[in-house]
Amino acid sequence: MKFDILTLFTGMFSGPFDESIIKRARDKQLIEITLHNIRDYAFDRHQTADDAPYGGGAGMVMKAEPLAACIESVKAKQPNSTVVLTSPQGRKLTHSVASELAKRDGLIIVCGRYEGIDERIRTLYAEDDISLGDFVLSGGEIAAMAIVDATTRLIPGALGSDDSAASDSFGDGLLEYPQYTRPPLFMNLEVPETLLSGNHELIRKWRRKESLRKTSQLRPDLLSDLLLTKEDAKFIKEIMREDGSDT
């Protein structure tokens, strides 16, 4: 998969993209990441990429001309890639959105800055709009990193085991069950006996039940969108009884 990232600050990406899963995916040639400096497409000798907003107000707005030239240059080489804007007004990045993006041929991610981009860029070029949530960042670079990371781990082979991504939180619509490793006793807290039993069916049921428990406690809103099995319904009744909850 090809990621093209359009930004005013290419240096911000040198660390996150050179480590861990993304680095391994690049080494395996499962993904390709290219950074494009929007200022390189400015028309003046000062490489101006922003200007004061029409109508007045604080801050600066990213200019349409250099951004359009950058998008068109990249799109000409990657015609099947989707142009994605990072913006607070976009749809929220979720596991299902990342799964959808992972099926695209490529992403051209435009990192907004300052007070935003000239709206004509959205009108002319944007094919998708992604937000990390209801908070303000200094720019779209961190959002672009999140999009690349969340998408890459869903590409077959990126994690080394496709089952790993499926068992992550939100992989099946639930928060992930609690995880434990050695030692079996730590500061008087023991690993649940079921996990030490070696009985795979009991372990599967424990994990599913604890995923449901954690989700009901921390993100009950997720349960409303989940198609519950008969086993799930049974577990939820047990959880309500055990926790003394009416949820």
Q: Hey, which residues are catalytic here?
A: 88, 115, 153, 168
- Quick one: which H or E segment has residue 131? strand 128-131
Is residue 62 within 8 Å of 48, Cβ to Cβ?
Answer: no
Residue with tokens 């949530």: 133
Q: How far is Cα 97 from Cα 99, in angstroms, rounded to an integer?
A: 5
Whether the upstream peptide bond of residue 192 has omega within 30° of 0, thus cis, is no
Comparing CA positions, the residue from 213, 218, 205, 219 lying closest to residue 241 is 213
Is residue 5 within 8 Å of 17, Cβ to Cβ?
Answer: no
Q: Residue 12: beta bridge partners?
A: none
Q: How far is Cα 10 from Cα 75, in angstroms, rounded to an integer?
A: 19
Q: Which ranges constitute the DSSP H helices of 115-166?
A: 119-125, 141-152, 162-166
According to DSSP, the β-strands at 82-92 and 50-51 are unpaired
Q: How far is Cα 183 from Cα 191, in angstroms, rounded to an integer?
A: 8
Is residue 222 within 8 Å of 169, Cβ to Cβ?
Answer: no
Q: Using N-to-C axis directions, what is the helix angle for 20-27 and 141-152, rounded to 10°?
A: 60
- Quick one: which H or E segment has residue 88? strand 82-92
